[in-house]
Amino acid sequence: MLGENRITLKHGAGGTAMVELIEDVFAASYGDLNAPRDDSARVDVSGPLAFTTDSFVVDPIFFPGGDIGRLAVAGTVNDLLATGAKPIALSASFIIEEGFPVNDLITIARSMEETAQEANVQIVTGDTKVVARGSADKVFISTSGIGVILRNGISGAAAKPGDVIILTGSIGDHGAAVMLAREKLLDAETVKSDTAPLTDIVLNLIEAGCEIHSMRDPTRGGIGAALNEIAKQSDVGMVLDERAIAVKPPVAAACEALGIDPLYVANEGKMIIIVSAADAERSLDIIKRQRYGYDASIVGRITSNHPGQVRIKTSIGTTRIVPPPSGELLPRIC
């Protein structure tokens, strides 16, 4: 099987070629080789569960700082974490275009396993379909995940006036990296995606008992979209401090070249964490000690004024509204 170069329709046909593909590519890369090959995986959990699903169609599938596999695991893990859940198990479904190189599939599967190990989660079940050339573009992956909710009540609807908005790092890295790679605009390595599972940040905050009210990973639509969603869900206002929101210089340059506002550009390794004012500094300290949180900062506050609206104090001292994104967002960014 590994000697063959390309995926063919028979790899999705349910016969021996498909079994070989699953054994040599997926089982060899992740999961428990000795687990029974049954129609469902068995997962032992107790307590209230979080359950989420996401599809990944990013173009290109390999980009500086990550690939579609790392993205598929980190994206689903971060959605579970944002609900206050410890990720336990993932599924991974592949839709593969006929002719796709087997070696690329192996690279993706290994990247998924690496990311899953980093996130302390297991990929326990999956599916593979092959479609005729032109019926899909290279490879699409869907991941679903379950996690055990460690802290009840964390919700986009739970932000309160007086709360503090923490952002775990600089914005726009993922969207800018993918757009540059796709358009071949700049030397590929100048901007890297931030794709990462944020398990350590979230679980350490929960373990320390920090009073987290809301969390959201600002993916498609960037922090502009995510903060507007929370402002509406919680019926509160927000005031951001532009100077506290980090944008790496090459990302800022890329956004300017592409004519996009980094506030609306996707992140895949950042979390918005809204905490009580009393726990803000302690939470920030904990976040900064984690691998993906060294760049974290307090970027704003929740207000009772202008409910449902996000405002930003600009670096020149004026205040403007940050509307929810409208119109065309960047396509196939995740």
- Min dist CB 259 to Mg ion, Å, is 25
The minimum distance between CB 219 and Mg ion, in angstroms, equals 5
Q: Which of 88, 102 has the CB closer to Mg ion?
A: 88
CB of 12 or CB of 169, closer to Mg ion: 169
77 versus 102: smaller Cβ distance to Mg ion: 77
d(Cα 282, Cα 166) in Å, to the nearest integer? 11
User: What token pair was written down for 18?
Assistant: 């498909």
Amino acid at position 269, single letter: G
- CA pair distance 164, 155, nearest whole angstrom: 15
- The region of 160-168, 212-220, 249-257, 270-278 touching Mg ion under the rule CB under 5 A is 212-220
Q: Which is nearer to Mg ion, 172 or 250 (CB)?
A: 172
Task: Quote the least distance from Cβ 297 to Mg ion, whole Å.
Answer: 21
Total residues at interface with Mg ion (CB under 5 A): 2
Stretch that binds Mg ion, among 57-65, 209-217, 296-304, 326-334 (CB under 5 A): 209-217
Considering the complex, what minimum distance in angstroms separates the CB of residue 331 from Mg ion? 18
Written as six digits, the tokens of 184 are 């071949």
Token representation of residue 267: 């992140």
Of residues 239 and 265, the one with the C-beta less far from Mg ion: 265
Q: Which stretch binds Mg ion (CB under 5 A): 8-16, 136-144, 217-225, 326-334?
A: 217-225
Separation CA 23–CA 57 (nearest Å): 24
Tell which residue, 120, 170, 176, 111, has the closest CA to residue 139. Answer: 111
Q: Which is nearer to Mg ion, 98 or 217 (CB)?
A: 217
Can you tell me the distance from the alpha carbon of 52 to that of 31, in angstroms, rounded to the nearest whole number?
A: 20
For the bound state, the minimum distance from the C-beta of residue 54 to Mg ion, rounded and expressed in Å, comes to 8
Per CB under 5 A, the segment of 71-79, 162-170, 248-256, 292-300 that binds Mg ion is: 71-79
Shortest spacing between CB 226 and Mg ion, in angstroms: 8
Among 217, 229, 268, 279, binds Mg ion (CB under 5 A): 217
> Where do runs of H (alpha helix) occur along 55-101?
68-82
Does 268 bind Mg ion (CB under 5 A)? Our answer is no
DSSP state of 53: E
Q: Which is nearer to Mg ion, 50 or 88 (CB)?
A: 50
Give 184's contacts (C-beta < 8 A, 6+ positions apart).
Answer: none
Mask for 76-95, x = binds Mg ion (CB under 5 A): ---x----------------
* Token pair listed for 274: 């809204």
Tokens of 256: 């300017």
The structure tokens listed for 175 are 């969207």
Query: Residue 77 and residue 119: Cα distance in Å, rounded?
Result: 7
Min CB(47)–Mg ion separation in Å: 22
Nearer to Mg ion, 97 or 217 (CB): 217
- Gyration radius of the chain's alpha carbons: 21
> Two tokens at 51?
């359950």
- Of the candidates 296, 298, 297, 300, which has an alpha carbon nearest to the alpha carbon of residue 310? 300
Q: How far is the CB of 304 from Mg ion (least distance, A)?
A: 26
Cα→Cα distances 282→179, 253, 323, Å: 36, 33, 31
Stretch of residues binding Mg ion (CB under 5 A), selected from 58-66, 154-162, 216-224, 228-236: 216-224
Q: Which residues bind Mg ion (CB under 5 A)?
A: 79, 217
